[in-house]
Amino acid sequence: MKSPLIRLLARDDASRLLHFEQNNRAWFESQIEARPNDFYTIDGVHQHIAELLAAYAAGRAYPCLLVSEEGEILGRANLKSIQRSEGNAEVGYRIGHSHVGKGMATAALDQLITSARQTWRLQQLHAYVTDDNLASSRVLQKAGFKSDEVVLRLAKINQRELNGKRYTLVLNQ
């Protein structure tokens, strides 16, 4: 499979994004905290997109989609909690279950790092990963992130509270 196109989320992505989220809900909820049920409606996704695009307009987020040449959503990638005055942000990504293990997370993370350096002019990126999510930890480590903090009760997944780690990447300007 070719590398995905990574682009800014748009308002007209709502129906495709709802389809992607519904199709991957069980997979995502086995890895990360569940979204509220009302998210999984067209109105919920429209609201979600509006909130993300407002945060983007305010310089607090960079919400992206990974899409195939045909326009299928393969995953999501975000810079969030951007604090330009402090020079840092969080990275996050979620890859559709049928595309895991194909380099999508690595491609998304590489794009986010490039954007953080060149467009946003940030000095540090942080990512939070539960101890159970070894694949995400490997992707982060491969990109140069270092584990620098233990986070107790990072997430609640399937009624289990999970600990995790914060990973940090120092960006050389």
Using one digit for the tens of pLDDT, what is the confidence trace for 42-90? Answer: 999 999 999 999 999 999 999 999 999 888 999 999 999 999 999 999 9
119 pLDDT higher than 90: yes
What is the 3-class SS of 52-114, one letter each residue? HHHHHHCCCCEEEEEECCCCCEEEEEEEEEEECCCCEEEEEEEECHHHCCCCHHHHHHHHHHH
33 pLDDT higher than 80: no
DSSP state of 39: G
- Structural domains of the chain ordered from first start: 5-170 (3.40.630.30)
Q: Tell me what percent of the residues of the chain surpass a pLDDT of 90.
A: 71
**Furthest CA-CA distance within the chain:** 42
Alpha-carbon separation of residue 57 from 2, 89, 102 (angstroms): 30, 16, 32
Kindly report which listed range (80-84, 101-105, 124-128) carries the lowest average pLDDT score: 101-105
pLDDT of residue 138: 94
Contacts of 64 (CB under 8 A, 6+ apart): 6, 7, 8, 9, 76, 77, 78, 108, 111, 112
Amino acid at 39: F
Instruction: Please state the pTM of the whole predicted model.
Output: 0.90
The answer to whether 146 and 168 have CB atoms below 8 angstroms apart is yes
Alpha-carbon separation of residue 137 from 14, 39, 144, 164 (angstroms): 30, 27, 11, 10
How would residue 7 be classed by pLDDT, with cut points 50, 70 and 90? very high
33 vs 81: which has the higher pLDDT? 81
Structure tokens at 111: 């794009």
